[in-house]
Amino acid sequence: MSHRGAASGAPVREFHMEIFGVPSALLGSQLLVGLINGSFYAILSLGLAIIFGLLNIINFAHGAQYMMGAFVAWIALTKFGINYWVSLLLAPIVVGALGVVIERTMLRRLYKLDHLYGLLLTFGLALIFEGIFRDQYGISGQSYEVPELLQGGVNLGFMFLPIYRAWIVVAALTVCFGTWFMIEKTKLGSYLRAGTENPQMVQALGINVPLLITFTYGYGVALAAFAGVLAAPVYQVNPLMGSNLIIVVFAVVVIGGMGSIMGSIVTGLGLGLIEGLTRVFYPEGSAVVVFIIMVIVLLVRPAGLFGKT
């Protein structure tokens, strides 16, 4: 068995425990990578789901907005010396504000048309964003240092846990459950859910639905940018970092169905873990395992695991 886990910088040889003939450190570190990817899937598919719920469009620019979140953090640090913690708040606000502008000036004109036009518009926007950053920064990645507070790691006895990686999972899950709480348990959330069901009726009750829509798009985009900042220290900050990720997230959304907020979170995490396991037992299959699961789900339960038929 090859020691792929060594790439993550963990001192693999210290641990001798084996599970199913796989060194526990390798299994542990790949599961952790899976959990991290799963956190990104969860936060991105959650954003897609709430945008889809109210706007009925699929935000193809989601991957590009995730990438821009990472770049805002990187530029803030290298050009202005703004640290990670400020960026964690700043990047979602900047990119979310750009999202608000996009919604007000462009997406708004498309609501009366076929929903596919929203997909096409955001696809064009994704090309523009990606192209601009590619022209400015090339396709080689920029590195972003792990903030001082989260450097180092803990020896768990069966594996080595880098603190920053644990932080990603905690932060992503906190934001996911915070969003779930806001939508399911607060007054604003109840407007949102009502708007998803019947926007005309909600408008008639005196609630400003267009404003609600703008806010929702901005919030969904801000979630993507937040994920981008979280990703900056572990992945290279790269103009193309979002485009391949977003297609996997689309598959995640097809598997889970976009009807349920909790469903998006659970599906995202679960698929990340499955992907991590595949990387241990059959590395060649890890790039396609999510797509294969999508095919199986389509055959068995076409509406998706949490979808309404």
Return residues touching another protein (CB under 8 A).
Answer: 52, 57-58, 106, 109-110, 113, 115-117, 119-121, 123-132, 134-135, 243-244, 247-248, 250-251, 253-254, 284, 287-288, 291-292, 294-295, 298-299, 302
Nearer CB in complex with another protein: 10/290: 290
Closest contact distance (angstroms) between CB of 131 and another protein is 3
Residue 178, both tokens: 């915070």
Provide the minimum distance between the beta carbon of 53 and another protein in the complex, in angstroms, as a whole number.
12
Is residue 203 packed enough to be buried (19+ CB in 10 Å), middle (13-18) or exposed (0-12)?
A: middle
The distance in angstroms from the start CA to the end CA of the chain is: 44
Determine the Cα angle at 99 with ends 98 and 101, to 5°. 65
* 22 phi and psi angles, rounded to 5 deg: -110, 130
Q: At closest approach, how far in Å is the CB of 100 from another protein?
A: 17
The CB-of-247 to another protein minimum distance in angstroms stands at 5
Query: Least distance to another protein from the beta carbon of 71, Å?
Result: 16
Identify which of residues 233 and 242 has a Cβ nearer to another protein in the complex.
Answer: 242
C-beta of 63 vs 162, nearer to another protein:
63
Residue 62 or 165: the one with the smaller Cβ distance to another protein is 62
Q: How far is the CB of 15 from another protein (least distance, A)?
A: 31
Q: Judged by CB, which is closer to another protein: 120, or 170?
A: 120
DSSP 245-293: HHHHHHHHHHHH-SS-HHHHHHHHHHHHHHHHHHHHH-GGGTTTHHHHH
Of the two residues 56 and 190, which places its CB atom closer to another protein in the complex? Answer: 56
* Long-range pairs for 287-293: beta carbons < 8 A, 24 or more residues apart: 290/248, 290/251, 290/252, 290/255, 291/248, 291/251, 293/251, 293/255
* Beta pairing partners, 154: 161
